[in-house]
Amino acid sequence: MSPPRPPYPHRLHLAQTPTPLSPLPRASSELGVELLCKRDDLTGAALSGNKVRKLEFLFAEARAQDADIVLSCGGAQSNHCRATAVAAAELGLASRLLLRTPDPTSPPAATGNILLDRVVGADIVWITPAEYRDRAARFETECAALRAAGRRPYVIPEGGSNALGSWGYVRCLEELLPELGVPTTIVYAAGSGGTGAGLVLGKRLFGLDHVRIVGVNVCDDRAYFVRAIGDIVEDAITRWKLELPGAAFSRERDIEIIDGYVGRGYAQSRPVELASLVALARSEGVILDPVYTGKAFYALRSELAKDPRAFGERVIFLHTGGVFGLMPPAVADELAEVL
């Protein structure tokens, strides 16, 4: 008997789903496992990647609150902020993005995601890394000013990563249920915790004890993501009074993070990571991004080189999008060195 369907909150239809699950035959042969790719890079064009699944729920709440402008935040080339700005334009809302850069007086050029932010009319506010760390206070200031001017703001957190946004990846796991009848490991890139939280929550809601959910952190460390993902999952359980089959949720048992692949740091690539990205593109025609999926796939490849049975015999790699991260000149110059 199939598990009962979870009590999904209301959502808008923004993503092109379900996304395909594609075999990677040549990479499978090379790595010695059955390797498949969940193509969440195909959730749309400009509105592509994993963020749109979360935004379906977050924008539904924004609309229910009669918001006329959404605010969010991220790094200069944030995929999440680009998706937020595109979705806002599609829904007839304004958007304001707090983007992090070392020197706000000399912001990065309008390339990649920044260019798309500007094309769809987002109001970009450049802030320093120090200001970004206190972004909650900055959001309060921005919202107070907007309300004083008669606007109705709605704040979407970094990465869309909160309890409401995490339902996007409960839905993603539900799409995969027909393919999860045998032991399988799902590997994903962990950047803000929301994708991992949805996958972990979905695993527990659907009773998938034979499925492993493995995150590769692309910033911070394992302890940070156990805390961030745990907070989101526990908030969702409390907010929607969720009943999980079997044992109670446990951060240490249910959250698996492979640390050690941050490399040079967030949004900074090493030649070996870019070479791995290029190799997959040439063998399978699947193009990863340098910030998230490129690091995660390099980790997958490296862990299998150390132990061919590290993830079992069947692995689904979650492609969370981000192709526009390849477009900035600095990234193109680094790629040119490995091409």
Q: What is the DSSP string of 117-140?
A: HHHTT-EEEEE-HHHHHTHHHHHH
Cα 225–Cα 227–Cα 230 angle in degrees, nearest 5: 100
Structural domains of the chain, count: 2
Q: Both 273 and 213 in a single domain?
A: yes
User: Could you say which DSSP state residue 47 is in?
Assistant: T
pLDDT (0 to 100) of residue 4: 81
- DSSP string of 220-243, one letter each residue: S-HHHHHHHHHHHHHHHHHHTT--
Of 116, 142, 160, the residue that ends a domain is 160
Structure confidence at residue 71 (pLDDT): 98
**Position 72 pLDDT exceeds 80:** yes
Asked, for residue 14, whether it belongs to a domain, the answer is no
Write the pLDDT tens digit of every residue in 193-207.
999 999 999 999 999
Instruction: Say whether both 170 and 63 belong to one domain.
Output: no
For residue 12 the two structure tokens come to 């808008």
pLDDT digits (tens, 9 = 90+) for 145-178: 999 999 999 999 999 999 999 999 999 999 999 9
Whether the per-residue pLDDT at 316 is higher than 80: the answer is: yes
How far apart are alpha carbons 69 and 88 in whole angstroms? 8
Between CA 94 and CA 120 the distance in angstroms is 9
Catalytic residue numbers read 78
* CATH number of the CATH domain containing 264: 3.40.50.1100
Answer yes or no: is pLDDT of 329 > 80: yes
Q: Which of 76, 331, 51 is nearest to 192 (CA)?
A: 51
Boundaries of domain holding 127: 51-160
From the CA atom positions of the chain, what is the Rg in Å? 19
For the segment 96-102, the average pLDDT, to the nearest whole number, is: 98
pLDDT at 63 > cutoff 90: yes
Does residue 1 register a pLDDT over 70? Answer: no
Do 111 and 171 sit in the same domain of this protein? no
84 plus 203 within the same structural domain = no
**Interval 16-44 mean pLDDT:** 98
In a shared domain, residues 166 and 178: yes
Choosing from 101, 136, 160, the residue where a domain stops is: 160
Percentage of the chain lying above the pLDDT 90 cut: 99
* The pLDDT of residue 144: 98
Report DSSP state, residue 182. Answer: S
269 pLDDT above the threshold of 60: yes
Task: Give SS3 for 212.
Answer: strand
DSSP-derived secondary structure letter, 336: H
pLDDT beyond 80 at 183:
yes
Which pLDDT score, from 0 to 100, does residue 150 have? 98
Cα within 13 Å of Cα(222), Cβ side? 10
Cα dist from 252 to 188, 233, 308, 311, whole Å: 18, 13, 24, 18
Q: 209 and 286 share a domain?
A: yes
Q: What is the pLDDT, as a whole number, of residue 51?
A: 97
Identify whether the C-beta of residue 153 lies closer than 8 Å to the C-beta of residue 71: yes
Q: Report yes or no on 4 lying in a domain.
A: no
pLDDT above 90 (res 2): no
| 3-state DSSP assignment of residue 217 | strand
Asked if residue 3 has pLDDT above 60, the reply is yes
Residue 332's DSSP bridge partners are none
pLDDT tens-digit readout, 222-258: 999 999 999 999 999 999 999 999 999 999 999 999 9
Residues 95 and 191 in one domain: no
Q: Which of 101, 132, 160 is the last residue of a domain?
A: 160
